[in-house]
Amino acid sequence: MAMTSSTTSAPVGSPLHPRAGRRCHNVLNALHTTHYFSPDVGRELAPLGITHPKAVNFAIRAAALGAVGAGTVTATFFNYKPDTVARFVPEIWRTAAPEDVLAARLRAVDTTLRRLLGDEAVASPEMAEAARLALRATEACSPSGRPLYAAHAALAVPDEPHLAYWHAATLLREHRGDGHLAALLDAELDPVEALVSHTATGKSMTPTWNLNTRGWTRDDWDAAVERLRGRGLVAADGELTESGVALRKAIEERTDRLDRAPYEHLGAADVERLTELGTVFAGAALQAGAFPADLLGKA
C-alpha cells in the first residue's frame, strides 16, 4: 500500500477548515462501523451466550459502561426504542460479563480488519502513522457530558497499530456522537424525529434498516413524520423543506463546534493527512463488502 503526503497539504500552523474535523471523523467512523456489520462479532459473542443480533449490538457498544441497566443504554444510545433496549438489557450482563464482551469485540475487530484490509495494510507504516495521529487527536477530547466517550476512553489502548487506530476512531466517534445528541436535544428532535429527518437527507440508513435495528414500528415512524410536518420541517412528499434542510445543517454545524477540540489539537496539516490515510482504509473496507448494499438511502 503506497501512500505519500499530498503535495497540496495544508502548511503547519494553517487554520483548520470548519468542516475538516467532520470530514476526518467520517472516514474514521466508517472503519469503526465495519464491526457492527461483521459476522465475526456474532461468532465471538456466541460462545458467551449472546446470540440475538440486537443483544449483540447492545452488548458490544454498552460494555464499556459496565453492567448498566436499560435506562442508561436508552439514554446514551438515544435513538433506540426503550422497550427494545429493556428486552435485552440488563439480561445480557447476566449472560456475559462486560469485560468478556469487550475482549470478544476486540478479537472480532482484529479478524474483521484483517479480512477487509489484508495483512499487508494492517502491518503497514501507514497504519501505524494513522494510529499515532488519531490517538494524538484524542488527547484533546473531553469526558465532560460525554458518557459513551468517557467510558471508552477508560479502556486500554491496544498494542497493535490497526487495533489502536480502531480504538482511537471509536473514541473520536463517541466524542462526536455524545456532542451530536446535545445538538439534537437543542433542536427539540425526539429519537424518531431525529432518525426521520436524517434519513430525509439521504445520508442515513434507510427507514427499513432504522426500524429493524432501532426497534421502532412503522406507526412510530409515520407519527414522527407527521410531527415534523406540523413543524414545517418535512413536506407532504416526505422531503425536507427549506426549514428542515436548514435545521439539519445547523445540527451538523453545532456538532462540528462541539467536536472541534481534537482536530484543532492535531492541526490542519495532520488532520488532512489522517483524513487521507483514513479515506484509503475506509475505501478498502467498502470495496471488500464491509456494508450491506441496501444500507443507505431515503427509501
pLDDT tens digits, one per residue of 224-277: 999 999 999 999 999 999 999 999 999 999 999 999 999 999 999 999 999 999
Name which of 79, 77, 88, 81 is nearest 53 in CA terms: 88
pLDDT score at 105: 98
Q: Which three three-digit cell numbers place residue 203?
A: 445520508
Q: Residue 2 — pLDDT band, cuts 50, 70, 90?
A: very low
Which pLDDT belongs to residue 15? 83
| DSSP-assigned beta bridge partners for residue 296 | 205
205 alpha carbon, distance to own chain's centre: 13
Average the pLDDT over 91-118 and give the result. 98
Residue 12: band (very low, low, confident or very high) from pLDDT cuts 50, 70, 90: low
Q: Rounded CA gap, 166 and 138, in Å?
A: 12
Mean pLDDT within 153-174: 98
Dihedral of the alpha carbons of 29, 249, 194, 178, in degrees to the nearest 10: 50
Residue 298 binned pLDDT confidence (cut-offs 50, 70, 90): confident
What pLDDT sits at residue 18? 86
Choose among 274, 267, 271, 275: nearest CA to 15.
267
Within 8 A by CB and 6+ apart from 250, the residues are 187
Its pTM stands at 0.93
Q: What is the pLDDT of residue 272?
A: 97
The DSSP bridge partners found for residue 240 are: 234
pLDDT given for residue 7 in this prediction: 35
